[in-house]
Amino acid sequence: MARTHLAITVELVSGGQHAALWPRPGRIMIASRSATFEQFAEAVDDAFGRWDRSHLHEFTLADGTSISPAKRRDGDEPEGSLDGSKARLGRLRCGDQFAYVFDLGDM
């Protein structure tokens, strides 16, 4: 039977002013393979109490694939990046690691 959900461990590795966090605060999140990376980013915001939703973000997968919002604040589309509102979590495989960076300033 195909697994329709993923258990994704999310750990914060740095905080304000890029200070390293130890121990790392984390959550184990359950997500549908059909969910988009944009939806997952919103769920991470909710899980860690980020209320402002004004930051930019980017996922970088182990193979180097970049996934970010389709448009940045300046209206430019990120070159070479997949649209997070369309890319689905189903592209992840068991054991895959990836980075999620937010608060990228003006990107």
Instruction: Show the domain range for 40.
Output: 5-102
pLDDT at 19: 79
Residue 51 CA to residue 62 CA, distance in Å, equals: 29
Domain containing residue 22: CATH number: 3.10.290.30
pLDDT at 14: 78
Residue 46 domain-assigned?
yes
Q: What would the pLDDT profile of 66-95 be if each residue is shown by its tens digit?
A: 998 876 555 555 667 899 999 999 999 888
Q: What would the pLDDT profile of 24-62 be if each residue is shown by its tens digit?
A: 889 999 999 999 999 999 998 888 887 766 667 789 999
Total-model pTM:
0.81
Please state the domain count of the chain.
1
Residue 107 domain-assigned?
no
Alpha helices in 1-107 (DSSP H): 37-47
Residue 85 domain-assigned?
yes
Of 29, 9, 6, nearest to 99 (Cα)?
9
